[in-house]
């Protein structure tokens, strides 16, 4: 009954495709169109302005500093998060005494759960919590610095252009590491024990085992992590909006594309211009994803 | 026809159909203006509200609560027994109403306020707002001999006028100045200074008592911009204010403006500000002030309501006008920055715009205004509404400050007219207060942004 099969297939596929079309594809398509207009978000008419919005972007100081700041986060967040997550998951799976090799440091079961905690907090809560950590005067960070005799380093972390962006970036890394520890630990657990054992018998140290065996075998996960973290670093809107001075300050030091876009649309009523930013961000993200996947491409290792 | 080709055709057709629905469902496809029906105009119904027409009120439910707008609903229902009134209080007015404005299906009355409000200038430019002149000339609810216009405090009608037409009316009257604790000052024998020199001398004295003279809401530099621009307005008079608002060349580099910025910068270099204030949120700074860590804080008159749960008993918060900057100021010491807020408007495409106007007539009645002063602890824009009420210490000081200011109430418009400029002003002020820029650099930076804005044809310009 070919006919019935198609009817079933169409029946099963139509609702999700329709939903996807209405709520994902259609807004995207409209954003591309709006980016070419001067729509103010409130009137029923939008005048066509061609590529003028895109041309204006490159002389917009705010947008350029947002690009620069997102660029900084793009350099720091994925690399730092992946290095930390690899280190922690290696400790959880490879660490500990040689005789207990493969089980990780003492209490690794508990650590696996604890590392995941930050992932359970919503971004809004993170932002508010860390705002208290960075508060000048009696904030947690300044308090700790004072207690360990580094009082000279105390400052208004979020109010100083030099430290504001690193402070926000640190929160991003802190909140992301846990998830990737869980991801990498799971990947490392699936590395066959006999391969590791054989290498150990051949006299390989733990670092060599990690570098020559574990890392190549979990490379797929690292690649995926890199793309996800890259997208995270290009966002940062919620944290900046909640935590920073201004927001986006001081002196635009923490301005991110998402914030510039939000402000253009909802404060200035320049929805066309904001859409142009969104479209630009879309292409930047797409390019980076393609680049990251290509640059980190390696030979796949097939395990029996 | 074989199967693959028909399948391909089907797919192609469905793609075309999909694209067509996507494009026709575009966000900008709006409706036409509905026909306005008008009921019979009588003495009881001066605005000609059609009989039995329903009314929808959407308001910002923020610091002032929704008691007063509910109160006006009760009044409206008494006058129009046949109408069903829906009243909704929201936090994010803009997000909910933007699509409704675009679709041509807005409510009949909107209180467009709060952080998530819609850009009123853009709404007006898109021809989405009803002209309120008819309401202003209508007889008031309390006394048919008095027009609604004559009930309002000075500046309210001007605040709501865009390009010569009254587009919205604000309900709450806000006064900006410096706040201090009367009990703390009595205890040390201090008095609020009337000149900036006295202020600096008092700052030294306060420091001697182990208290920081000032703190401010550093995360939002606009809080410190208010005393700065008040000092400037006093020194340079209304000419200075208008030059700034009209984006005149060199407006931000006028002597009065530079002297004011320099005075505020002097608080930083003189060490008169609580350490770390530049990194505090408004709540943190205001709590530090309530806990006695600092003597002065700049703020608008909403601070008393905002700090209700935190203020210690016997704190007696009091508002003082910003001191005079020089001995040759253009405005007297008592002059204050005042403005109205909580913007009520009637959408042009509303189903029952006449009902919307009549609802506002109820809202601006003496009865609702008195209730507002009591429940929201704020000044309503209706004249004499606080007379005979037992006011809290903060609100009483606001009322007396307003009274001694008389006609010398000033306000800047650039923040409402040009939000892009306001963002740059706040960034520059953050740098000034962070000690990373001096008065001249501050002024040059803002002037550059103002000049760029003045040259930008795509931004609608206003003049006063």
As for the ipTM of the complex, it is: 0.83
Flag if B27 and A29 touch (Cβ within 8 Å). no
A146 reaches B (C-beta below 8 A): no
**pLDDT tens digits, B230-260:** 999 999 999 999 999 999 999 999 999 999 9
Cα A104–chain centre separation: 27
Are B423 and A41 within 8 A, CB to CB?
no
With both helix axes pointing from N to C terminus, report the angle between A257-266 and A61-93 in degrees, rounded to the nearest 10.
140
How far apart are the C-alpha atoms of A269 and B267, rounded to whole Å? 36
Mean pLDDT, chain B, whole residue set: 88
Interface of A with B in 174-213 (CB under 8 A): none
Distance CA B95, CA B98 (A): 6
Q: How far apart are CA B337 and CA B128, in angstroms?
A: 30
Rounded to two decimals, the pTM is 0.83
Query: Under DSSP, is residue A94 helix (H, G, I), strand (E, B) or coil?
Result: coil
Show the tokens assigned to B12. 């192609």
- Are the beta carbons of A42 and B102 separated by less than 8 Å? yes
The answer to whether the Cα torsion of A47, A53, A55, A61 is positive or negative is positive
Contacts of B104 in chain A (CB under 8 A): 44
Distance CA A86, CA A184 (A): 7
Average pLDDT over residues B120-133: 89
Q: How far A135 CA sits from the closest chain B CA (Å)?
A: 7
The Cα of A264 is separated from the nearest Cα of chain B by a number of Å equal to 9
Confidence check: pLDDT of B21 > 60: no
Q: How confident is the model at residue B12 (pLDDT cuts 50, 70, 90)?
A: low
Residues of B in contact with A42 (CB under 8 A): 98, 101-102, 118-119, 122-123, 126, 128
pLDDT in tens, A18-43: 999 999 999 999 999 999 998 888 77
Partners of residue B176 on adjacent β-strands = B300, B337
Q: What is the mean pLDDT of residues B401-427?
A: 90
Does B116 lie at the interface with A, CB-CB under 8 angstroms? yes
All structural domains of chain B, each given as residue ranges with its CATH number in brackets, are: 19-174+338-391 (3.40.190.10)
Alpha-carbon distance A254 to A246, whole Å?
9
Phi-psi region of B338 (alpha: psi -120 to 50; beta: other; left: phi over 0): beta
- A74-78, B307-311, B394-398: which is most confident: A74-78
Is the pLDDT at B28 greater than 70? The verdict is no
Interface check for A107 against chain B (CB to CB < 8 A): the answer is: no
First CA to last CA distance, chain B? 73
Q: Is B391 helix (H, G, I), strand (E, B) or coil?
A: coil
Per CB-CB distance under 8 Å, the chain B contacts of A37 are: 28
Give how far A27 is from chain B: nearest CA, Å: 8
Q: Model confidence at B2, in pLDDT bands (50, 70, 90)?
A: very low
- In order of A14, B26, B30, the CA distances from B18 in angstroms are 12, 13, 21
Chain B interface disruption, residue of A2, A3, A42, most B CBs within 10 A: A42
CA nearest to B408, candidates B249, B177, B225: B177
Q: Which are the contacts of B70, defined by CB distance < 8 A and separation ≥ 6? A: B87
Q: Residue length, chain B? A: 464
How far is it, in rounded angstroms, from Cα B347 to Cα B36?
Answer: 12
Q: Identify which of B21, B31, B419 has the shortest CB distance to residue A267.
A: B419
Residue A25 touches chain B, beta carbons under 8 Å: yes
Q: How far apart are CA B217 and CA A13, in angstroms?
A: 54
pLDDT tens, chain A, 304 aa long: 566 788 899 999 999 999 999 999 999 999 999 999 988 887 778 889 989 999 999 989 899 999 999 999 999 999 999 999 999 998 888 876 554 445 677 788 888 888 888 888 899 999 999 999 999 877 899 989 988 988 888 888 999 999 999 999 999 999 999 999 999 999 998 888 888 888 889 888 888 888 888 999 999 899 999 999 999 999 999 999 999 998 898 999 999 999 999 999 888 888 999 999 999 999 999 998 899 888 877 766 666 5
The span from the CA of A236 to the CA of A232, in Å, is 7
Interface contact flag, A29 B23, Cβ < 8 Å: yes
Cα distances from A181 to residues A91, A92, A178, A209, in angstroms, run 10, 9, 5, 18
Question: Do residues B348 and B129 touch, judged by C-beta distance below 8 A?
Answer: yes
Q: Are B121 and B162 in contact (CB under 8 A)?
A: yes
Q: Using a CB–CB cutoff of 8 Å, tell me whether A50 touches chain B.
A: no
């Amino acid at each position: 009954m070919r006919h019935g099969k198609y009817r079933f297939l169409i029946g099963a596929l139509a609702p999700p495709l329709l939903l996807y079309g209405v709520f994902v594809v259609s807004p995207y398509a409209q954003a591309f169109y709006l980016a070419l207009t001067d729509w103010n978000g409130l009137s029923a008419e939008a005048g066509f302005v061609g590529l003028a919005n895109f041309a204006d972007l490159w002389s917009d100081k705010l947008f350029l500093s947002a690009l620069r700041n997102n660029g900084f986060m793009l350099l720091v967040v994925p690399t730092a998060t992946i290095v930390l997550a690899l280190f922690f998951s290696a400790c959880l799976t490879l660490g500990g005494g040689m005789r207990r090799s493969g089980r990780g440091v003492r209490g690794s079961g508990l650590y696996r759960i604890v590392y995941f905690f930050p992932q359970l907090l919503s971004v809004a809560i993170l932002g508010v919590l860390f705002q208290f950590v960075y508060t000048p005067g009696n904030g947690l960070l300044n308090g700790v610095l004072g207690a360990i005799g580094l009082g000279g380093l105390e400052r208004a972390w979020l109010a100083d252009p030099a430290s504001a962006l690193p402070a926000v970036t640190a929160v991003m890394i802190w909140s992301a590491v846990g998830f990737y520890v869980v991801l990498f630990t799971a990947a490392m657990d699936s590395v066959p024990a006999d391969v590791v054992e054989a290498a150990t018998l051949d006299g390989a140290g733990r670092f060599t085992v990690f570098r020559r065996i574990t890392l190549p075998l979990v490379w797929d996960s690292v690649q995926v992590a890199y793309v996800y973290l890259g997208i995270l670093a290009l966002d940062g809107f919620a944290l900046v909006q909640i935590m920073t001075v201004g927001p986006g300050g001081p002196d635009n030091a923490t301005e991110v594309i998402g914030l510039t876009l939000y402000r253009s649309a909802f404060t200035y009523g320049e929805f066309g211009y904001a859409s142009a930013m969104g479209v630009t961000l879309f292409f930047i993200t797409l390019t980076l994803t393609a680049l990251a996947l290509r640059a980190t491409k390696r030979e796949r290792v097939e395990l029996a | 026809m074989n199967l693959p080709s028909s399948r391909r055709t089907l797919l192609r057709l469905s793609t075309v159909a999909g694209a067509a629905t996507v494009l026709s469902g575009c966000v900008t496809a709006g409706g036409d203006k509905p026909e306005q029906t008008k009921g019979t105009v009588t003495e009881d119904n001066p605005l000609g509200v059609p009989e039995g027409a329903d009314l929808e009120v959407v308001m910002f439910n923020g610091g002032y609560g929704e008691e007063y707008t509910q109160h006006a609903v009760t009044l409206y229902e008494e006058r129009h027994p046949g109408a069903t009134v829906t009243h909704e209080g929201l936090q994010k007015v803009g997000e909910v109403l933007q699509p409704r404005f675009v679709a041509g299906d807005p409510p009949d009355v909107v209180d467009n306020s709060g952080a998530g409000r819609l850009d009123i200038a853009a709404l007006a430019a898109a021809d989405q707002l009803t002209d309120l002149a008819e309401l202003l000339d209508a007889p008031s609810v309390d006394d048919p001999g008095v027009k609604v216009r004559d009930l309002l405090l000075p500046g309210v009608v001007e605040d709501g006028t865009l390009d010569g037409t009254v587009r919205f009316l604000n309900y709450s009257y806000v006064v900006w100045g410096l706040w201090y604790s009367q009990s703390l000052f009595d205890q040390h024998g201090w008095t609020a200074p009337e000149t900036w020199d006295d202020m600096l001398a008092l700052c030294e004295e306060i420091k001697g008592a182990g208290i920081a003279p000032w703190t401010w809401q550093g995360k939002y530099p606009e809080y410190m911009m208010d005393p700065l621009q008040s000092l400037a307005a006093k020194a340079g008079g209304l000419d200075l204010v208008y030059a700034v608002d009209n984006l005149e060349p060199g407006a931000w580099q006028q002597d009065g403006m530079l002297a004011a910025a320099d005075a505020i910068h002097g608080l930083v270099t003189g060490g008169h500000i609580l350490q770390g204030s530049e990194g505090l949120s408004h709540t943190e700074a205001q709590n530090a002030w309530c806990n006695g860590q600092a003597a002065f804080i700049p703020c608008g008159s909403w601070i008393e309501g905002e700090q209700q749960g935190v203020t210690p008993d016997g704190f007696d918060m009091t508002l003082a006008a910003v001191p005079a900057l020089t001995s040759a100021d253009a405005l007297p010491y008592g002059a204050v920055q005042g403005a109205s807020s909580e913007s009520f408007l009637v959408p042009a495409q509303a189903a029952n715009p006449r009902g919307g106007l009549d609802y506002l007539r109820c809202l601006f009645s003496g009865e609702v205004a008195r209730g507002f002063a009591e429940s929201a602890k704020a000044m309503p824009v209706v004249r004499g509404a606080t007379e005979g009420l037992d006011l809290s210490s903060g609100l009483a000081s606001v009322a007396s400050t307003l009274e001694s200011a008389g006609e010398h109430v000033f306000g800047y418009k650039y923040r409402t007219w040009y939000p892009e400029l306001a963002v740059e002003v706040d960034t520059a002020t953050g740098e000034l207060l962070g000690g990373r820029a001096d008065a001249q650099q501050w002024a040059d930076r803002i002037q550059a942004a103002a000049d760029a804005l003045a040259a930008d044809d795509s931004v609608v310009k206003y003049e006063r």
